[in-house]
């Protein structure tokens, strides 16, 4: 599956593991169900990543986050936004590793994914064929301000409007 970040196409360094079999894999990506066993087998030099459903609760994940280098949140469809909320919660709870959105997202969601804390997006082949990498990178620059507080670093539209109104009143 194609992988991209804010700069474009990216080379995959993670190897998906069947179950918890992580022998001789430097960057092992396991499913949520296999994570406890994989962590028990982990050697000092290995990096462990996990693919989680977008229904995982933070208390279930929080105790394991320090042991993970990558968390990939599955998106069953582009219309299911629970993964965006989960990404924000994961970042708010201190996860500093790589956060990946995995599933059939669309380019219009790329800026929001980055603002929610995702570092990269992994697309199914069919999604990548419909919207090439250049379209994703261009879409990233199309949205300069969001409506929600706490997403991105440019401030939100409502706070900017309020600030402009106060400056106008103070000047007038």
Q: Are 83 and 121 in contact (CB under 8 A)?
A: no
CATH number of 3-141: 3.20.20.70
What tens digit of pLDDT does each residue of 59-112 get? 999 999 999 999 999 999 989 999 999 999 999 999 999 999 999 999 999 998
Distance separating alpha carbons of residues 56 and 93, to the nearest angstrom: 14
Alpha carbon of 94 to those of 2, 39, 61, 91: distances in Å?
Answer: 27, 19, 12, 5
Give the mean pLDDT of 103-132. 93
Higher pLDDT, 37 or 160: 37
**Residue 12 pLDDT > 90:** yes
Strand order in the sheet with 27-31: 8-9, 3-5, 120-122, 98-102, 70-74, 47-52, 27-31, 15-16
Encode 135-162 in three state secondary structure: HHHHHHCCCCCECCCCCCCCCEHHHHHH
**Residue 148 pLDDT > 80:** no
Give the mean pLDDT of 34-61. 94
Confidence of residue 1 (pLDDT cuts 50, 70, 90): confident
Distance separating alpha carbons of residues 118 and 10, to the nearest angstrom: 14
Confidence of residue 146 (pLDDT cuts 50, 70, 90): low
Question: What count of other Cβ atoms lies within 10 Å of the Cβ of residue 53?
Answer: 15
Domains of the chain, by residue range, sit at: 3-141, 144-172
- In the chain, % of residues over pLDDT 90: 66
Give the mean pLDDT of 47-70. 95
**Residue 152 pLDDT > 80:** no
Confidence of residue 143 (pLDDT cuts 50, 70, 90): low
Distance separating alpha carbons of residues 28 and 68, to the nearest angstrom: 10
pLDDT at 149: 57
Distance separating alpha carbons of residues 111 and 124, to the nearest angstrom: 19
**Residue 159 pLDDT > 90:** no
Distance separating alpha carbons of residues 56 and 77, to the nearest angstrom: 16
Q: β-strand 15-16 against 70-74: which pairing, if any?
A: unpaired
């Amino acid at each position: 599956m194609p992988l991209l970040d804010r700069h474009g196409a990216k080379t995959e360094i993670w190897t998906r593991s069947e179950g918890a079999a992580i022998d001789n894999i430097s960057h092992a990506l396991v499913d949520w169900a296999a994570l406890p066993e994989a962590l028990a087998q982990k050697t000092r030099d290995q990096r462990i990543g996990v693919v989680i459903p977008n229904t995982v609760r933070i208390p279930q994940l929080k105790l394991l986050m320090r042991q993970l280098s990558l968390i990939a949140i599955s998106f069953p469809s582009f219309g299911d936004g629970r993964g965006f909320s989960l990404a924000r919660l994961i970042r708010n709870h201190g996860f500093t590793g790589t956060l990946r959105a995995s599933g059939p997202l669309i380019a219009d969601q790329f800026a929001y994914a980055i603002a929610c804390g995702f570092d990269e997006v992994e697309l199914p082949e069919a999604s990548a064929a419909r919207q090439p990498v250049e379209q994703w990178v261009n879409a990233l620059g199309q949205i300069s301000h969001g409506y929600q507080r706490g997403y991105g670093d440019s401030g939100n539209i409502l706070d900017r409007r309020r600030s402009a109104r106060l400056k106008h009143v103070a000047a007038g």
